[in-house]
Structure 1
Amino acid sequence: MNAPYVLVLYYSRHGATAEMARQIARGVELAGLEVRLRTVPAVSSECEAVAPSIPAEGAPYASLDELKNCAALALGSPTRFGNMAAPLKYFLDGTSSLWLTGQLVGKPAGVFTSTASLHGGQESTLLSMLLPLLHHGMLVLGLPYSESALLETRGGGTPYGPSHHAGADGKRPLDAEEIALCRALGQRLADVARRLETARG
């Protein structure tokens, strides 16, 4: 039997969401669980355009099998007009086979996002990302206010999941509170996944 792992699945255009994914992955590792960092290809405006099967840099592309077999999921996207980016939505739209067979039912999941402006739709993006997870029957995990960084943040951070204020040029690095909240989500996902695996065991 394969060791349980948390799938950190994201789309990132300028690198901020990718850095959040790495911090969430670190939180998973700190909690002692395996993590898989995966991304999705961009959506092309050209008909029948095909991306290379392996990206030139960064995380590998996710497969449906990796999603099906994960013990928990962290799903991340930059904000696009208060919603998730099209490439991530496109990937999720292709998960009907997992929905039909109930492969994700009962698995913990959380979401994260990055925006250029401080009030640029972080919370609505996170909520929109939760919708397909709820349809899949996943157990949604947010961030409790027992995480002190949630009360102290001057950048990103919400009870619906970690967020990051990347700035107008997209180059503002994650601050200490944003990093803490990303790691906290990773740890929560790993802890709950481990408890569920033990209960099933």
Structure 2
Amino acid sequence: MTPATPYVLVLYYSTHGATKALAKVIASGVEEAGCEARIRTVPKVSTVCQAVEEDIPAEGDLYCSEEDLQGCAGLVLGSPTRFGNMAAAMKYFIDSTLNTWVNGDLIGKPAGVFTSTGSLHGGQESTLLSMMLPLLHHGMLIAGVPYSEKSLHTTLSGGTPYGPSHYAGGNNNQPLTANEQDIAKSFGLRVARLAQKLYD
């Protein structure tokens, strides 16, 4: 069922808060376009057994439901970099989206990706590319950051044509730069406008 008004799902996983901060700026761009930004996260996973979390987190953003995903008009997916790839928690969630894939719920909807890294050359672009692959399998239309975004030309930290990124530093002590914020906000605006144009 299509919701009465379109929303862009800003779905992220964040360990120390850097990816979450980037998600919030992207969401502000979505809302500037006049579209709802539905911010959701995913729970941690354990290396020894399945992590068991309450359905509603004690604090912070809600966990993403199947309905949140299926009903979105656009999707922005964010994860910190883990050895040049998305974090296990995000991959675990994506691996659970078989029903959404079988039903074709995301086909033809715009999507994009974002990340944060502890080191400047810590795999930002490979993480973003790896996150695009399941979105392509879902039939989504990938939106990047065009070079008409001036901050792509001047950034000295995060920011790529594949999607917004943030260099958080080894101790996670680097705040979002002005360029990173500009790229993230314009990216949210772009995905929302695409979603509005494609919304049935």
TM range (shorter): over 0.9
Superposed, which structure 2 residues align to 1:32-181 within 5 Å? 32-181=34-183
Task: List per-residue Cα deviations over 1:124-181 (Å, max 9, x = no partner).
Answer: 0000000000000000000000000000101100000000000010121000000011
Query: Given the superposition, is the C-alpha separation of residues 181 and 87 from structure 1 closer, same or farther in structure 2, using an over 3 Å criterion?
Result: same
Q: 1: CA distance between counterparts of 2:32 and 2:80?
A: 25
Give deviations 1:74-109, integer Å, cap 9, x for gaps.
000000000000000000000011111111000000
8 Å contact from structure 2 (residues 6, 72) kept in 1: yes
Distance 1:96 1:52 in 2: 22
**Which runs of no fewer than 5 residues in structure 2 stay unpaired?**
none
Which 10-residue stretch deviates more, 166-175 or 43-52? 43-52
3-state DSSP of counterpart to 1:47: coil
Distance (Å, rounded) in 2 between the aligned partners of 1:21 and 1:80: 18
Task: Pick closer, same or farther for the CA change 1:125–1:49 going to 2, 3 Å.
Answer: closer
What is the Cα deviation at residue 2 of structure 1? Answer: 2.1
Distance of 2:50 and 2:134 partners within structure 1: 26
The 1:2–1:176 alpha-carbon spacing in structure 2 relative to 1, beyond 3 Å, is same
Cα distance in 1 for residues equivalent to 2:124 and 2:7? 27
Paired with 2:170 and 2:63, the residues of 1 have a C-alpha distance of 28
2:162 partner SS: coil
1:174–1:53 Cα change, 3 Å? same
Q: CA separation in 2, counterparts of 1:185 and 1:2?
A: 24
Structure 1: gaps of 5 or more residues: none
Distance 2:136 2:148 in 1: 24
**In 2, Cα distance between equivalents of 1:48 and 1:100:** 24
Paired with 1:87 and 1:70, the residues of 2 have a C-alpha distance of: 21
Give the 3 Å change call, closer, same or farther, for CA 56–171 of structure 1 in structure 2.
farther
After TM superposition, where is structure 1 displaced by more than 3 Å over at least 4 residues in a row?
Answer: none
Provide the rounded CA distance (Å) in 1 between the counterparts of 2:51 and 2:32: 40
> Separation in 2 of the partners of 1:92 and 1:155?
28
Map of 1:24 onto structure 2:
26
From 7, 10, 18, the counterpart of 1:8: 10
| Count of residues paired in the alignment | 198
Supply the AA of the counterpart residue of 2:43.
Answer: P
